[in-house]
Chains A and B, each alone.
Chain A
Amino acid sequence: MKHIIAMGFSLIPLAAPAAESGNDLLARYAQQAAEEDPAFNGFSAERGRTLFATEHPHGNDPAMACISCHTEDPRGAGEHRRTGKRIKPLAPSANPERLSNAYKVEKWFTRNCQDVLQRQCTPLEKGDVITWLLSVK
């Protein structure tokens, strides 16, 4: 029975996204982080904030960072620096939609870590950033 339900969900991942909380996401990333590193010792909001603001120069983008588009204050709106498109605040305290949909969270980490870091983020990095975003009131 469980398998049937699981199959049903896998067929309609977008039509019926289960609402999640930031803490659900953290639990999953914590599990992944522990699998990658048995010495995993919890997430850090401070590490998350630092990662978010750190510049990663590459190509013709000498100051590429998360804050290039999102700004340093996750309670405020950002702006896509090439297209000018407004980006809603990332902190759930300012925008309750954030961190409520695991599909979207993974999508944006996948795209944006590639653009900023030119690699995928680790579960530890994702958990750190989410911990920081949840801590901002």
Chain B
Amino acid sequence: MRRKMLIGSLIIGAGLGLGWILTGAGELRAEEDDEHGRRHEREHEEEGRGSRAPAAGPGQDSYMSECGSCHVPYPPGLLGARQWAVIMTRLNDHYGESATMTPETARTLAAYLQANAGRDGGSGAAADEELPRITTSAWFRDEHDEIGPEVWRRESIRSAANCGACHGGAEQGVYDEDGVRIPR
């Protein structure tokens, strides 16, 4: 499994790396810390976050097209059931944008997210005041504690929500550290 992920991320990484070289941008290899990475992988598995790719099943197509066309299809396990429910009730103001869809699609999607949600807690989700954010959760901050604020603001990254800027396999749900390349 780990080998497959590694090969996948190498291929994607090679493609992206070529792109950056062609555009004249350098790249910075993230510090490797295998022990650190393994520890967090174990923790995530314990928290039900081991499987990162949006799971197959009814609703996956909707998830990839309704959500994944504007941003990386964040692994549904990274938010809890209650947090996804809050997001789904406020699609007309989805972090400042409209993410509306037909009621049928919304029902399909809500069921999919509930079925694949992780643990609630950590990030925002004060009921109906603030939309939950993966990026404010304790584990996300912990995983990215070596990334300074100026790195997030780079034009090549834009925001912490742009997983794919550094995680070459984000679209496929691959987030292991071997695939990380931080663009300048």
A28 at the interface (CB under 8 A from B): no
Task: Using A110-B98, A111-B97 as known contacts, say yes or no to A14 and B72 having CB atoms under 8 A apart.
Answer: no
Indicate which residue in B66, B101, B159 contacts A83 across the interface (CB closer than 8 Å): B159
**Residue from A13, A107, A110 whose CB has the most chain B CB atoms within 10 Å:** A107
State the CA gap A110–B97 with chains docked (Å).
11
Cβ of A104: which chain B residues have Cβ within 8 Å of it? 65
Distance in Å: Cβ of A113 to nearest Cβ of chain B: 9
Cβ of B96: which chain A residues have Cβ within 8 Å of it? 82
State the CA gap A80–B65 with chains docked (Å).
15
Identify the closest chain B residue to A80 (Cβ).
B70
Cβ of A13: which chain B residues have Cβ within 8 Å of it? 102, 104
Identify the closest chain B residue to A11 (Cβ).
B104
B162 at the interface (CB under 8 A from A): yes
> A83 near B158 (CB under 8 angstroms)?
yes
> B97 near A14 (CB under 8 angstroms)?
no
Cβ of B70: which chain A residues have Cβ within 8 Å of it? 80, 83, 85
B105 at the interface (CB under 8 A from A): yes
Cβ of A80: which chain B residues have Cβ within 8 Å of it? 70-71
Cβ of A115: which chain B residues have Cβ within 8 Å of it? 97-98
Return the CB mask of A71-112 against B: 1 if under 8 Å, else 0. Answer: 000000000101111000000000000000001100100111
Interface residues on chain A, size class: 10 to 19
Interfacial residues of chain B within 76-118, with CB under 8 A of chain A in the complex: 92, 96-102, 104-105, 108
> A114 near B98 (CB under 8 angstroms)?
yes
Identify the closest chain B residue to A113 (Cβ).
B98
> A83 near B161 (CB under 8 angstroms)?
yes
B125 at the interface (CB under 8 A from A): no
Cβ of B66: which chain A residues have Cβ within 8 Å of it? 107
Identify the closest chain B residue to A88 (Cβ).
B69
Cβ of B161: which chain A residues have Cβ within 8 Å of it? 82-83
State the CA gap A85–B98 with chains docked (Å).
16
The 6 closest A-B pairs by CB, nearest first: A114-B98, A83-B71, A111-B98, A84-B162, A84-B158, A115-B97
A→B interface (CB under 8 Å): 13-14, 80, 82-85, 103-104, 107, 110-112, 114-115
Can you list 6 A-B contacts (CB < 8 A)?
Answer: A13-B102, A14-B105, A83-B162, A84-B157, A85-B162, A103-B102
